[in-house]
Structure 1
Amino acid sequence: MDNESPDLAVLLRLARERIGLTQQELSESSGVSVRTISHLECREVARPRAATVRRLASALGLDPAAAEKLHMISRAHGGDFAAVLSRASSGDWDGVPARHE
């Protein structure tokens, strides 16, 4: 397991929780298994497939900039991580929709 890019796990969980979805609900709307989502959020999978990231971003309702940020972070590793975060833009997840009430 590679813990070089821990923020993927945090950002995925943040985006999911911000819109009020469980892992099961995200799985159902994205077509990504609950097991994979759990592994991503627990840092057991450090570099998911690009298609997986696209499906999750779509199901989370991320705008294009936030979806690209998630993709870039999922591809980062080692010393590249800080540079990718910098290029992806500082600040928080402006592109993540608010929680569904």
Structure 2
Amino acid sequence: MSSEYNKDQSLENWQRVRAVLNEHWDPLGVADQVDDEYDHYVGAICLMLANQQVSEDTVNHHLYVIATDQMSLRPHPKLVEACEKAGAILVRLPPQFPTH
């Protein structure tokens, strides 16, 4: 596998995770105005997904903790729903992620 492929695949994976966060999670409701709002979280999520053993619940919880602890949002049912929806989509992306 060439390093060019790795770079291209990494960028594609990063963009796919970013799209899921913006389209299905977006706890601040700003993704339609600022497309890089959640970029800070994409790398860690990509690393989680590279571990094909990661569970949907783990990803859901990670998104929820980001929203409630790091963004200081109040817990509410729509937030839980958004975390679950995005988590379900994200865990189905890993076949495209390299394993280490």
Return the TM-score normalized by structure 1.
0.36
Judging by fraction of residues, say which structure has more helix.
2
Return the TM-score normalized by structure 2.
0.36
